[in-house]
Structure 1
C-alpha cells in the first residue's frame, strides 16, 4: 500500500496550506484532546506547535507513564553480516563501497552473544546487510538457535522476507521485526536507492504488513530523518503505524526516529533535523499513538538521550556496536554508521535508575 500517495488522494492535502492555516489556539485545542486524529497529529508536527513543546512534553510524559509506567527496555544490536547487494547512497554497506566484507561463523556469533549477555542485556536485535546469499533463511535459523540461549527476546532487521519466511523465523524463536522505509517520498526513495532489490519501493513498504500477517509479536517502523522534510516523513510514519495498529490489533507497533550519522561515503542528508525537531517529532507521535513503543538508539548524544527518555521513549539501545564482530573485536572499523552514546550498559542503567526508571 502506498500510504504517501493514498493519503494525498484521500485528503487532497497540502502540508504548506494546512500549516499556514493553523493558529496557536488550534494547537492548544489539540494538546487538550484525549484522542487525536490524523490532522491533530499533523497540527502537533507543525511550526505553529513549536512554542508549545513544553506543554506537549508534559502531556507526553503523563501519557507514557499511564500506558507503560516508568519502565525502559534496553536492547543491543548484533550485526552478523555486512554483505549487501543494494547500491544505496547513504549506507556504508552499499555494494559500491570497497571494504573487506564479513559474515560471522556460528562460533563467532556465540562469542559475540556471550560478550553482550555479560553486560546484562536481555533483548537482542539481529542485523545483516541485504544479501540473501550471505544471510539465507537457513543461516538465520542456525544463528537464532544459538542466540536464543542467551537472550529473552530476539528481533531481526534485515532484507525484506516473504510472509512464509517470517513464519519460519517466528517458529525458530524470533518475536520482533524492524523495517525502516528510509523515506516515504517515493521520488526521493528512487533517487537514493540506485540499484538492487531495495529499489522496489512498494515491496519494502509492504514488508511490515507481511510480518504482521505472519504473526510476529512486535513490528517497528520508521524513516531515516534527513532524506526529506522531517514533518512530512514523521507524519507518514505515523499514518503507516496507525494503519498497521488498526488492522493488526494483536501486533505491537513501535516507531524509531533514526537521524543520519557519518558513514562510508560522501552522501549528505537533504535537510538538517535539529534536536528540537526530533523532540517535537517524538512527543507528537507519543500523543498520536499513546500505546506504541518509541525507540531511541545510540545514534544520539548522551545528553540528548538523557533528556528524551521522559518524553515518551520506552526502548533504547545501549553499549552498541554497528560493526560485524564488533563486540569481541572492538578494533573492527567497518561499521554501518557511527554511534554517539558509548556509555556502558551499567552507566545507562545508573542514569535510568536515578530518574526512577526500572529496566528490563
Structure 2
C-alpha cells in the first residue's frame, strides 16, 4: 500500500457556496418546494440550491410533502424491491486515529484480529448457508491490507460453494488506493468500491483525523476518482452523520455525486448515511457533537431520495429495527441483514465479538427474520447480482436506469433470487410469506413475455437449477 499526499489539489467541495445557499434558501415558499419535488418525480437529479431549499423546510405540511414525494419516487423507480447483503469484516488493524472509531490505533481496549484466507472461507461458508448472495468486505487501513491481499480475499470468497449456494457479488469498503491498486482489485471481480468521506467539512475532518494516512482530506476525497481511472465504474459514497451539521453533510454528498457525474458521466451507485453509534472506549461516539434525531434522520433520507433518484440508498443495521422499517418507505433500496461486525464472528459465534467491532449494531435479527418482516409488509427482498455480471454498470447502467427500464430486469430477478431462498433456506413461516409476495409481484408484471419467461424459470428453480437471471 502506497500512501500519497496531494493536499495542494483543490477540493471540489465548495464550503462557501454551500453555506451561502443554506443561508439564502431559508423559509422557502410552498410553490418553490412543490416545483422541486415535481422535478424529482420526473426523475431528474436536483441541484445544490434545490437540495438547500428542501433542507430548510421546517413547516410540517411541507415536510410531509417531502415524505410523500420520496415515497412516490421510491415506488416509481424501485418498486417494492429491497436488496439484501451482509458485511464481512476482514480485519480491524488500523494505522489511523479517527477519534470516533473503535478501530483507531490509539484504542488499546479493542481486540485486534485479521482473518486468514481459511477463515475467510469459513466466514463465507457460514453466510452462504444462511442464504446470502451479496457481501461487502470491510478492512481497516493497514499495510497488511494492501491491494494484493484485498484481491485475494475476494477470490477466496468467490471460490466458496456450499450446497446450492455461493456468493455472486462482493463489494469493498477499504482505504483509498492508487490507480494501479484499483486495477488489481477490479481484476478480482468486485462490484462496488465504497469510500466514506466521513465528514465533508474540512476543519472538522482535520480535527477528527489527526494522524495516519486518513489525515489527508484530499487524498480521501479524490479516492473514487482514482477508482474510475482504475476501471471501477461502480462506486459508493457516504458520510457519518453526527460529526458536523447534517445539512452541510447532505450538501457535501450531493456535491460529490455531481462531481463524479461531471467528470466521469456517471454518479455514485450508492450513498450511505450512517449515524454515529457507540464503540468500545470511544467517548465521542457516546456523545456525538451534532446528534441527528429520528425525525431529522427521516427527513434526511427522504431528501436524499428526491435529490438522487437513481442512486441506491443503503441503510445499515446500525439503526434499530423500528427506524429501519419506517425508512424503507422513504427511499431506502438496500439493507444488510443477519449482520455481525465482529472480525471472524459469524463462524465462531464469538460472544465477545463487540471487542473486535468498529461500533455496536441496533438491528441484530437473523436474515430469515428480516425477510419475513419485509414480505409480511409487502416488500420484495432481492439478492440479484445480474447487472454486474452482464456489464450493466457505470454509464451502461444509466442507459437502462434513467428511462425507467430497470423494472424490466430487477423485479423478475428479485423474484428469481427470492424463490431460490424459499427452496434452499427459508423457515416454513418465512416461506409462506415469501410465496404470497412472489405471487403478487408476478401478477403485477405487465409484459406477458417477461411474465411467461419468469414462470418458466421458476419451474426450473423448483427442479434444482440456480442463478437464472434476466
TM-score between both structures, scaled by the size of structure 1: 0.94
> Superposed, which structure 2 residues align to 1:126-165 within 5 Å?
126-132=137-143, 134-149=144-159, 150-165=166-181
Per-residue Cα deviation, 1:53-105 (whole angstroms, up to 9, x for no partner) = 33222221221222222211101110111100011110000000113311111
1:143 & 1:16 partners in 2: Cα distance? 44
Corresponding residue to 2:315 among 288, 296, 314? 296
Q: State which drifts further: 21-30 or 104-113.
A: 21-30
Q: Please say which of residues 231-240 and 39-48 is displaced more in the overlay.
A: 39-48
Q: CA deviation at 1:113?
A: 0.4
The residue aligned with 2:234 is: 218
- CA deviation digits over 1:198-233, x for unaligned, max 9? 000000000122112222242111110011110111
The structure richer in helix per residue is 2
Structure 2: tracts of 5 or more residues without a match: 1-9, 160-165, 383-470
Distance 1:196 1:115, change over 3 A: same
For residue 373 of structure 2, the aligned residue among 327, 351, 355 is 351
Task: Give 1:275's aligned residue.
Answer: 294
Deviates more, 1:195-204 or 1:118-127: 118-127
Q: Distance in 2 between matches of 1:315 and 1:209?
A: 24
Shift in Å, 1:140: 1.6
**How far apart, in 1, do the equivalents of 2:28 and 2:263 lie?**
31
The CA deviation at 1:280 is 1.1
CA distance in 1 between partners of 2:128 and 2:64 (Å): 38
Note closer, same or farther for the CA distance 1:50–1:123 as it changes in structure 2 (3 Å cut).
farther
How far 1:22 moved relative to its partner? Answer: 2.3
- 2:158–2:167 contact (8 Å) kept in structure 1: yes
Residue matched to 2:398: none
State which of 120, 136, 145 in structure 2 corresponds to 1:109.
Answer: 120
- Structure 1 residue matching 2:137: 3-state secondary structure: strand
Report deviation, 1:181. 0.3
- Where 2:345 maps in the other structure, the secondary structure is coil
Q: CA deviation at 1:237?
A: 0.6
Specify the alignment match of 2:246 in structure 1.
Answer: 230
- Distance change >3 Å, CA 215–CA 250, structure 1 → 2: farther
- When normalised by structure 2's length, the TM-score is 0.72
Structure showing greater Rg:
2
The answer to whether 1:2 aligns with 2:11 is yes
Is the CA contact 1:71–1:359 (under 8 Å) kept in the aligned structure 2?
A: yes
Distance in 2 between residues matched to 1:340 and 1:292, nearest whole Å: 25
Matched, 1:266 2:266: no
Query: Could you tell me how far apart the structure 2 residues matched to 1:224 and 1:269 are?
Result: 11
State the Cα distance separating 1:276 from its structure 2 match: 1.2
Q: Secondary structure at the match of 1:327?
A: helix
Q: What secondary structure is seen at the aligned counterpart in 1 of 2:283?
A: coil
Structure 1 CA distance for aligned equivalents of residues 305 and 123 of structure 2: 34
Q: Distance in 2 between matches of 1:287 and 1:350?
A: 28
What's the offset of the Cα at 1:21? Answer: 4.9
Bigger strand fraction? 1
2:20 is the alignment partner of 1:14: yes
Q: Which ranges in structure 1 are unaligned for 5 or more consecutive residues?
A: none
Residue 337 of structure 2 corresponds to residue 318 of structure 1: yes
**Which structure is richer in relative contact order (CA contacts within 8 A, separation 6 or more)?**
1
Residues 325/4 of structure 1: CA separation in 2 closer, same or farther (3 Å cut): same
- SS of 2:228's equivalent in the other structure is helix
Check the 8 A contact 1:178/1:220 in 2, yes or no: yes
Q: Does 1:91 align with 2:117?
A: no
| 3-state secondary structure, aligned to 2:291 | coil
Q: 1:72 touches 1:314 (CA, 8 Å); kept in 2?
A: yes
Deviations 1:215-274 (A, max 9, x none): 224211111001111011111111211221343335652111100100122113211101
Bigger Cα displacement from structure 2, 266-275 vs 17-26: 17-26
